[in-house]
Amino acid sequence: MPHAKMESIAPGPTLIERAYEAILSAICDGRLQPGERLNQDELAARLQISRQPVGQALSVLKSQGFVRDNGRRGLIVAPLEREFFLAIYELREALDAMAARLAAERCSAADAVDGRRLVFQGRRSVQAGRVDDLISADMDLHMWIYRVAGNPLLAETMTLYWNHLRRAMSEILRQPSRREHIWDEHEGIVHAIIERDPKRAEKLALAHASEAADRIVESIPAAGLEKPTVKARDSLGRALAPSGRRKSTA
C-alpha cells in the first residue's frame, strides 16, 4: 500500500547543529567579542550539554573562518581584520554583480512581489531606526536577489559571507545619514531586476557593493580590532542557553 506520497521525516536538529547556531549567532551579533577566547567547557556548561557537540560545532566554525586556532591554547573568536573584509568585498562585487544579472534574467511575477515588499519593509526599518532590523532587512533583500538568481550554491556561499559582514556592520550603520541612500540603491537594483534589465542590474549591484566596501574599510581601524575580554558575559549566557536557565559566569 503506497501511503500516498510521503517522504521520511527529517531527523530533528542535533545538539551539534544547535550549538553551531548558538555560537555563530553569538559571534555575528557581537555577544562574543573578536579575539575573545572560547573555552569548550564553559560553552558546554552554558548550553547545558557536554563538550562533544561543542567541539564538533567549533570544528565547523573554524573551517568557516569564524573562529581561529590560538596556538595550543584553544580557540579565539576571529578578530576583525581589514584585509579579510577587503577580500570578502572583492568577492562580493563579482558575485553580487553576477547575481543581479542572473536575477534580472529569471525574475518571475511572484518574485517581483516579494522584491517590492522587501524594499518597503527596508524603508520602514530605516524609519524605525533599530540597527538590528536594518541589518536584517539588508540581508533579506540581498538574499532575495541570490534566490531569484536561481543558484543555490551562490545563496549558500553568500550567506556565509554575510554572517562575516554582520560582525562589522553595526559599526557602519551608526551614521543614519547613509541609511536612506542605501535603500535608494536597493530600490534601483530591485527595479532593474523586476524590469528584467540585466545590464543595468549588474551595473547598479556592482556600484552598490563597491560603495559598501569603501564604507567598511573606513570603519575598521588599521590593526585588528579585538576588545579584550569585555564582560558581556551575561547577555551571552542568556542567549546561548536554550532553556534560559544559566549558570552564573563564575
Partner DNA sequence: AGTTCGTATTTCGTATGCGAAACACGGTAT
Partner DNA sequence: ATACCGTGTTTCGCATACGAAATACGAACT
Is residue 217 close enough to count as binding a second copy by CB under 8 A?
no
CA angle 66, 69, 75 (to 5 degrees): 75
Contact 32, 38 (CB under 8 A): yes
Q: How far apart are CA 187 and CA 166, in angstroms?
A: 21
Contact flag: residue 239 with a second copy (CB under 8 A)? no
> Segment near a second copy (CB under 8 A), from 54-62, 128-136, 174-182, 232-240?
54-62
Please list every residue from 144 through 203 that binds a second copy, using CB under 8 A: 151-154, 157
3 state SS of 250: coil
- CB distance 122 to 59 below 8 Å: no
Interaction of residue 60 with DNA, rule CB under 7 A: no
**Quick check: 34 and 224 in contact, CB under 8 A?**
yes
- Position 73 contacts DNA (CB under 7 A): yes
Closest CA relative to residue 237, chosen from 247, 223, 226: 247
- The Cα 235–Cα 14 span in angstroms is 24
Residue whose C-alpha cell is 522587501? 118
Of 3, 6, 63, 71, the residue at the interface with DNA (CB under 7 A) is 71
User: Strands, E, within 85-207: which ranges?
Assistant: none
Nearer to a second copy, 95 or 204 (CB): 95
Size of the site for a second copy (CB under 8 A): 29
Interaction partner, residue 38 (DNA, a second copy, none; CB < 5-8 Å by kind)? DNA
Number of residues that bind DNA (CB under 7 A): 19
Residues of this chain that interact with DNA (CB under 7 A) are 8, 14-16, 38-41, 49-53, 55, 71-75
Residues of this chain that interact with a second copy (CB under 8 A) are 8, 11, 16, 55-56, 59-60, 63-64, 69, 71-72, 83-84, 87-88, 90-91, 93-95, 97-98, 102, 151-154, 157
